[in-house]
Amino acid sequence: MRLSRPSRWRPRGLRARLLVAFVLVTVLGAAVAAWSSAGSASTALVNSTQQRVSAALAGQINASAPQLTYPPDQDALDRLRTAVGPNALVTYRNLRSEGGADLATDALRAAVRTQQRLVAERITVDGTPWLVLGTPVMITVPDGARTPSGIEVYSAHDLTGIEQQIDGLTTTAGSTAGVALPLAVVLALLAARSVLRPVRELRDTARRLTEGDLDARSPPQGADELAQLTASINEMAESVQTSMTAMHRMQSDARRFAADVSHELRTPLSTLTAVMEVLATAAGGMEPDVRESAQLAITETHRLVRLVEDLMEVSRFDAGTAQLRIEEVDVVTAVRDCLRARGWTEQVELTAEQDIVLGLDRRRLDVIVANLVGNALRHGAPPVRVRVSADAAQVRIEVTDRGPGLSEEALPQVFERFYKADAARTRTPGSGLGLAIALENARLHGGSLTAENAEGGARFVLRLPRAGEGR
């Protein structure tokens, strides 16, 4: 069993990160300042106490030194110890004063003898802090020089009161940092609100632009980086709006032009078609060269008629005027009729389930199937197969062939208008709009049309929903 590592909580969102960062910086700053102040005050308190005690010890020794005899005896050491205080010790070579407390360490004794001056040391004995002072007693000779007498005085002073004061300062420092927390939260909320307001406005503007509202803008506020970003986004939106407006205008003009041209060509093409029919009837009695030219004219006229019809159909899709004429249709029968009407029954293998009835536009289904099968016959290789199947959700019409298939470059563009994967096919009978029209008809039914390579050839799959047909 694989155990996953617990995920660490991390603030999500810019507001949360700003709040956390601001609060941490404020609280840490307050804590550092408070602890620094407490440390400075503690050091000053200890130094002041040490100076005061040292001065008092020096005064006591100076007051008692003139009454001492040199070399001192035991009584002299005891008198000096009594004058210094209860927690004191006076030594002279091997002599030691009676009573008092001996808290001096060997290191302190060595420092006093070596440096011949007052030395202080802080120690802790049984949990009690002490300040221990050690100093030599100096003798002033007639010429004013001072020499050590060999007498050493050690005095200990309880620092419990001082430590309590330091603990109080530490507690105050912690309380100060705690008091700064709610204030830091309030300040962070205010700062985040002022910083994030323009960010939210930019977000809303970007969302509106994404939804297609090209008039969306955010008014710049102030002269900081956010204001500059807002101005840049407004300039970008203005540029996009200008480009989109120009593109839509060009697309509209192109669609209107195609629709107008197609409409205007219908009448002369009808006349030309009638002439071509007469010409086809009379072609049998023509000379071979003339007959070949007549056949070419007839073929190109039919191709032009097909192109105009496809352009008009595309124009209806673009204008949104294409409509479905829904009726109950036996899909298998409709596909079989499409193949029979074009003489493809011998070239195409139809595999179908029986009794597949669906509400759809029969004419548009015929257009889809004819375009898919015609494309397979022109550009694929036999056998061309059409398979009709259905389930509870949809009806599938699958057209496959065993040709070279679709190239990787052609697959994403195969349904684009006028797209032809092979430049050599520019004179094929198709208009280059067949697959695009088939896709639009599939979408009009609420279905889909996809292309892929399978079984050594191309495969097109039309999917039509059983429920909610059409737009």
Single-letter code of the amino acid located at 272? L
Residues 6+ apart with CB under 8 A from 22: 184, 187, 188, 191, 192
Give the pLDDT score at 259.
61
Could you give all domains of the chain from N- to C-terminal order, each with its CATH number? 14-167 (3.30.450), 226-318 (1.10.287.130), 324-465 (3.30.565.10)
Single-letter code of the amino acid located at 101? A
The pTM (predicted TM-score) of the whole model is 0.47
Residue positions counted in the chain = 471
Give the pLDDT score at 277.
74
What average pLDDT does range 142-152 have in this prediction? 73
What average pLDDT does range 95-109 have in this prediction? 77
How far apart are alpha carbons 395 and 358 in whole angstroms?
8
Each residue's pLDDT tens digit, 249-267 = 776 666 666 566 656 666 7
What average pLDDT does range 404-417 have in this prediction? 86
pLDDT at 471 over 50: no
Higher pLDDT, 65 or 228: 228
Q: Kindly state the percentage of the chain with pLDDT values over 70.
A: 75
What average pLDDT does range 412-440 have in this prediction? 73
Picking from 45, 50, 40, the residue whose alpha carbon sits closest to that of residue 131 is 50
Q: What is the mean pLDDT of the chain?
A: 77
What average pLDDT does range 429-458 have in this prediction? 87
Give the pLDDT score at 363.
93
Name the 3-class secondary structure at 343: coil
How far apart are alpha carbons 84 and 60 in whole angstroms?
6
- Do 324 and 335 touch, CB atoms closer than 8 A? no
Q: How is residue 152 written in tokens?
A: 């050493």
Most confident of 143-147, 239-243, 315-319, 409-413: 409-413
Q: Where is average pLDDT lowest: 62-66, 176-180, 360-364?
A: 176-180
Distance set, CA 301 to CA 40, 210, 271, 292, 332 (Å): 103, 46, 11, 14, 33
Each residue's pLDDT tens digit, 14-50 = 556 666 666 666 666 666 666 666 667 667 777 777 7
What average pLDDT does range 211-224 have in this prediction? 75
Q: Order across the sheet with 394-400: list the strands.
A: 348-352, 384-390, 394-400, 457-465, 448-454
Q: CA torsion 150→153→154→160, rounded to 10°?
A: -160
**What does DSSP assign to residue 418?**
T
Give the pLDDT score at 376.
92
Picking from 455, 459, 460, 458, the residue whose alpha carbon sits closest to that of residue 405 is 458
What average pLDDT does range 402-411 have in this prediction? 87
Q: Kindly state the percentage of the chain with pLDDT values over 90.
A: 19
Give the pLDDT score at 470.
47
pLDDT band at 326 (very low <50, low <70, confident <90, very high): very high
Give the pLDDT score at 337.
94
| Burial label, 462 (beta-carbon count in 10 A; 0-12, 13-18, 19+) | buried
Q: Among all chains, which residue has been given the structure tokens 């308190």?
A: 45
pLDDT band at 426 (very low <50, low <70, confident <90, very high): very low
Q: Among all chains, which residue has been given the structure tokens 């407490």?
A: 38
Higher pLDDT, 76 or 384: 384
